[in-house]
Amino acid sequence: MAPGALAGVRVVEMGLWVAGPAAGGILADWGAEVIKVEMPGGDPMRSLFAALSGSKESRCPPFELYNRGKKSLTLDINQAQGRELMLRLLSTADVFVTNMRPQFLARVGLDPDSLRSRYDRLIYASLTAYGLQGPDSDAPGYDMAAFSGRSGLAERATPAGGQPPILPGGLGDNVSALSLVSGICAALFHRERSGQGQLVATSLLRTGIYSIGMDVSSRIGLGRAASPPPRTKPQNPLMNLYCAGDGKWFWLVGAQSERHWPAIASALGLTALMDDERFKTPRDRRRNAPALVAELDAALAQRSRAEWAEIFRAQDVWWAPVQSIDEVIVDPQAIAAGAFVHVPDAAEPAAASGADAPANGVATPVDFSATPAGPAGAPPGIGADTDTIVSALGYSPADLQKLREDKVLS
């Protein structure tokens, strides 16, 4: 098999939970060698379900997603010998990825200034909750706090009088990881031309704000931002959520109201409404949105979503189903688009995905035409590669034994 796009790039990752390890996981899928440095006891994400609810479930598929194909080194960075070993390891690295809190990194000498002054070719990739500067730069923050809550995203998604939504776990972490990876790749390209590394930094807060950039930029530029409308009062009733007769939801996506109205009216058997003065123009349809939504609701309740799918296909109506995860993993289009992969040596799926070869993992969301991308193997056990990595740094078997006796390595 041909090497991946990032083959030859060595990444040292010191991260916890999701955001930092997810960035390292994408880099590993793209061919980089990723060494995961874990404190004794390992990344707490390994036992996520026990940490959240006391569950006795020992397997953590999200950990597998974010850490497959890596190597693991267990190291007590709080000890001077551990810090010395870490610095020696970083001298061999192209990229250092971390989502540890800034004060901790400064205390152990792994902050950006300390490492950049030592290694001028190193790409230092920082992912924090709130950024590296400011009064809350060291505040703890998970994605529901910094990405969803403080960024304004959750409030923007809250209908008037409603409660803020609880977004799926890891959503903000994944978006932020992709942002960090894009920055890392740009910095590696810059280093190829200049020979110089640099600090690449993002945060859950920044990516959350950018994710609702349409609304935030409107508020900055125009002095106002639209409140989230209720489903019954959309700006464009042809681009709205609807429920079929079997209780399954879907989106109509008639974004260009004038263009899409004839096809939608025809498909729903509502052509008489095209001559209704309330609905003649896009502005009319917006002004009378509650009445038009009620008409569409009544018509769409007459058939199942599967029946509407056939009619929409024949009438060239733009739409998309609101799917459950169970529906997503057997969706022929998701499978054809490469959304799922087989991870070598990993546990088999609990339910078949519908692909010819059973998929047992979620793919990272980018393909390359000339270089392979995908998992090289299952995630490592805690410290599975410690001896190999440390020996390659010049430590003798006696050194390894002493480091273990001193509990620097485990």
pLDDT at residue number 161? 82
pLDDT at residue number 48? 83
Question: Where are the domain boundaries for CATH 3.40.50.10540 in the chain?
Answer: 10-212+380-405
Inform me whether the pLDDT recorded for 349 exceeds 80: no
Mean of the per-residue pLDDT values of the chain: 93
The structure's pTM equals: 0.92
CATH pick for 10-212+380-405 out of 2.60.40.790, 3.90.25.10, 3.40.50.10540, 3.50.50.60: 3.40.50.10540
- The residues that are catalytic are 173
Judge contact between 124 and 112, C-beta under 8 A: yes
Give φ, ψ of 143 to 5 degrees: -65, -30
Helices (H) and strands (E) in the chain, counts: 18, 11
pLDDT at residue number 53? 62
CATH pick for 239-321 out of 3.10.450.50, 3.30.470.10, 3.30.1540.10, 3.40.1360.10: 3.30.1540.10
Question: Where are the domain boundaries for CATH 3.30.1540.10 in the chain?
Answer: 239-321
pLDDT above 70: percentage of residues in the chain: 96
Tell me the residue length of the chain: 410
What 3 state SS string does 20-47 have? HHHHHHHHHHCCCEEEEEECCCCCHHHH
